[in-house]
Amino acid sequence: MRESEEPRVGGKEYHIACAPGDVAPYVLLPGDPDRTARISSTWDEVRFRASHREYVTHTGRYKGVELSCTSTGIGGPSISVALEELFRVGAHTFIRVGTTGAIQPDIEVGDLIISSGAVRLDGASKTYVDESYPAFADLEVTTALIEAAEALGVKYHVGVTASADSFYTGQGRPGYNGYQPSRSAESLVDLKRAGILNFEMEAATLFVVARLYGGRAGAITAVIAQRETGEFKPDAGVDDEIRVADEAIKILHEWDTLKSKRGKTHFFPSLLTSSPPRGNLTPLILFPTDLRVPHGKA
């Protein structure tokens, strides 16, 4: 596409209505436009930037770190548009702050889920790259989310999420008047058997697009639905996940500063000690990994 064909209006990106300088490099991504103000109300400084369609952007400061929050709307197509335009105005690190339905019995409403990867049941990411390309979260963003969740003492799970393009039939829920294709119910059973933790609608597209464009992305979601028991509480865990996401941005910023001081491209645990090991020393701390085994019973 020629530069002149890029969809900008008055120097701003068409959908998010932001220009370079409006958005910080670190961006929180809720789906719900109303959640932008809820998130930015936890910061020390807030500046309204834009509101256009489902995309509401605030920029501000949390514990000395400049950050932004842009709502993405629901689903892969909508978050892919947000990402395209956020990259164009200078963002590089993204944390989805969303809600989810748990499909494993040991996960309770109000718990938080940090996605280490996502099953690509979306359509948008397929327009970017072949389906065999993995949707996996950035290791630094994921580790920062775990670090923040530990520091705040909230209950969280780490594992693989399924990102669907539909809240109802795409997540094994009957549609209007009980309509449900057979594969809808079967897919839920199969995903549960494979140890997938939860259903939501944006993580896969986020992980794929951010990775292709050289950015970093992670996702934390609050469990508002427990699909086994049928429990549903639309706001459960949301305040906790906002606190974790804010803190994770602060942690990532600290790690990024340390990396640049030490001339390193990647974060590794012993970077936090005053003299990181050189050569072949075994690191003293292991990265948290997902030790969950697939559940035999579904």
The verdict on 76 binding ligand URA (CB under 6 A) reads no
Q: Which residues form the catalytic set?
A: 15, 85, 173, 227
Contact 112, 221 (CB under 8 A): yes
The verdict on 220 binding ligand URA (CB under 6 A) reads no
Q: Which of 43, 199, 207, 255 binds ligand URA (CB under 6 A)?
A: 199
The verdict on 224 binding ligand URA (CB under 6 A) reads yes
Site string for ligand URA, 130-169 (x = CB under 6 A): -------------------------------------x--
Q: Would you say 222 or 251 has its CB closer to ligand URA? A: 222
Half-sphere exposure of 175 (CA within 13 A, CB side): 8
* 213: nearest Cα among 88, 115, 119: 88
* 66: nearest Cα among 26, 106, 97, 109: 26
- Cβ at position 140, least distance to ligand URA in Å: 26
Q: Which of 85, 138, 200, 256 binds ligand URA (CB under 6 A)?
A: 200
* 248: nearest Cα among 153, 146, 155: 146
- Cβ at position 14, least distance to ligand URA in Å: 26
Interface stretch with ligand URA, choices 22-30, 98-106, 140-148, 283-291 (CB under 6 A): 98-106
The verdict on 171 binding ligand URA (CB under 6 A) reads yes
Q: How far apart are CA 204 and CA 136, in angstroms?
A: 8
Q: Would you say 73 or 101 has its CB closer to ligand URA? A: 101
Half-sphere exposure of 214 (CA within 13 A, CB side): 6
| CB neighbour list of residue 223: distance below 8 Å, 6 or more residues apart | 99, 100, 101, 102, 107, 108, 109, 110, 111, 112, 113, 198, 236, 237
- Cβ at position 48, least distance to ligand URA in Å: 27
Half-sphere exposure of 92 (CA within 13 A, CB side): 9
Interface stretch with ligand URA, choices 99-107, 134-142, 154-162, 176-184 (CB under 6 A): 99-107
Contact 135, 125 (CB under 8 A): yes
Q: Would you say 24 or 236 has its CB closer to ligand URA? A: 236
Would you tell me which residues interact with ligand URA (CB under 6 A)?
99-101, 167, 171, 199-201, 224-225
